[in-house]
Amino acid sequence: MCGITGWVSFHQDARLHVPVIEAMTATMALRGPDAGGVWLGAHAALGHRRLAVLDPDGGAQPMADSPDRPEVVLSYSGEIYNHHELRAELRRRGHRFRTRSDTEVVLRGYREWGDGLVDRLVGMYAFAVWDERAGRLLLVRDRLGVKPLFWAPIDGGLAFGSEPKALFAHPGITPRVGAEGLREAYSLLFNTGPTLWEGIREIEPGGMLTVDRAGQVERRYWQLEARPHTDDLAATVEQVAGLVDRAARSQLEADVPLCSLLSGGLDSTVLTALAADELRLTGGPEALLRSYAVDYSDQAVAFTGDVLRTGHDTPYAAEAGAFIGTEHSTVVLDPKALLDPEHRRAVVVARDSPIGVGDMDTSLYLLLGEIREHSTVALSGEAADEVFGGYPWFHASAALAAQTFPWLLVTGDEAAMPLHPELAAVLRIGEFRADTYRTALAAVPRVDGEDAAEHRRRELQHLSLTRWLRQLLHRKDRLSMARGLEVRVPYCDHRLVEYAFNVPWSMKSHDGREKGLLRSVGTGIAPESVLWRPKNHYPATHHPDYNRGLQRLAREALDVPQVREIADASVLGTTLDAPAERLDWGQRLRLERVVDLALWLDHHRPAITL
């Protein structure tokens, strides 16, 4: 995994601006701690920071098709899981390879198929191709949006980067935030395209953008499609099992240590079981997969549940690790570590945003840091709930009937930071949510003859896959990359997503519970206790000392005048003064976002104009 950045401008000679591309590239050092490089042509500059995972000696970037007179230059981040098959096909077509890296497969693939390369790729990726022959830059992002890619217009072209911070190192781009950006951030709708930052946009998942002297063109090369499902239940279970199995086993190639995140839930346990089996098949019966879980010192003594968590993960994770046969470790965090200002600041800097989930982000950052001491690649279970219908909103009557984004029933106004009344009047978030919801539903495809109940669940799945999942992937990418750790997400294999999207709900819940299809896949390879365990979200501490510390940090944050211009201190007063033992999840998240807002303002110092 890596960080990419660069620009194209037809109004200047990029070769005269070496310090600029070097500064932009340097902002990606945490994403790529192993190496860095730049390439400059007359009208384009590409930068790259590398986390070496495959072919450490041969995958240096930016990579050119020729060392002397390059016609095509690539800066690439990600993993192509079918690169061996593509390499074999390219060799049959006469291409010669200098390295074992998947990077060179992308480069040679572009030489052979041009933009049509994207239809052949299986993986997670974001990359930039400068075509010297055509005087054209191509930006591409993977189908589910696992890897981020941002861009902004500059004089005579555009600049791009894996993170906004890379763009801010370009002299033509200033960190500015307006009403539209704040509306995007605090509405919690997770649009892709517009961002918090004025003038900065994301490449859509499954999207590509080209820019040349004639201008720029952005288009989607992939999106979810509705198709009739013709397989019976037995064939569906078999097909899903094959797709999950292939996704998990195909994502294990690495020249560095690999591990699995094992929470003790169904999603991570199935992935870990398949990965462990594959390692034993290829490495011998003694080959052990490392697995990791997170816990808090207070939860180990007395678990405290809330609206998102009904049970303690650690015993289930340990049982799953023993059942599968992994080398399992539990990283136990002291709640005081979650209050450390430097840890919290590192998280906000990684996100380039004040919007997160507080201690759950900080704990993930600390967990990934511990994992990085032993592994460079980790498997994770993101997307299983979206793919197999695991969230309560897929079966709760209130969510099925609600005319709004389903996660707002859980993370809406009760957990949102209250906005200053004057700002709230400008942003009009309620209207924005209603308008965006209508637009989002209009984009959901439909199968002829699909009844209303089935289509409603298709709507919820489409919203989950195209919005809710995106913020989960952003979170995992930013925090793992800030630790120099590559995280792979097999449930985001687009072939699995395409198939499951069209499986009717009666089959998804064929055993009377959510995620019935995945439970069928896990039968025999996961403990029974895990197979039938209720959905549990990422763990959080409930220690009163943490709550008291959070209240203190929030009070300090509200002493900052610019924070009080955004947050409504009068509404937060009761939460600040509430007994620490009684703070619920929503109250805590409000305080978390005030603290993060202050850190974001202090680090990024954005120019805010309303």
List, for residues 93-133, the tens digit of each pLDDT value.
Answer: 999 999 999 999 999 999 999 999 999 999 999 999 999 99
Prediction pTM value: 0.96
- Give catalytic residues, as residue numbers: 2
CA distance 126 to 209: 12
Report pLDDT for 402. 94
- Range 482-510 burial, b when 16+ CB lie within 10 A, else e: bbbbbbbbbbbbbebbebbbbbbbebbbb
CA distance 325 to 559: 52
The letter for the amino acid at 62 is P
Element (H, E) at 108: helix 102-113
List, for residues 569-596, the tens digit of each pLDDT value.
Answer: 998 988 999 999 888 888 899 999 999 9
Mean pLDDT, to the nearest integer, of 230-255? 97
**Selection from 241, 325, 318, 322 nearest residue 280 by Cα:** 325
Report pLDDT for 410. 79
Q: Which residues contact 224 (CB under 8 A, 6 or more apart)?
A: 445, 462, 465, 466, 497, 498, 501
**pLDDT tier for residue 559 given thresholds of 50, 70 and 90:** very high
| Helices assigned H by DSSP within 340-468 | 341-351, 359-372, 384-388, 397-401, 408-411, 421-427, 429-442, 452-463
- Which of these ranges, 98-107, 142-151, 276-285, 462-471, has the smallest mean pLDDT? 276-285
Is 416 a residue whose pLDDT tops 80? Answer: no
Report pLDDT for 523. 97
Report pLDDT for 541. 87
List, for residues 295-346, the tens digit of each pLDDT value.
Answer: 998 876 666 666 677 778 999 999 999 999 999 999 999 988 999 999 999 9
3-state secondary structure at position 126: strand
List, for residues 346-403, the tens digit of each pLDDT value.
Answer: 999 999 999 999 999 999 999 999 999 999 999 999 999 999 999 999 999 999 999 9
Is 415 a residue whose pLDDT tops 60? Answer: no
Strands (E), 150-243: 150-154, 157-161, 176-178, 201-202, 207-212, 215-220
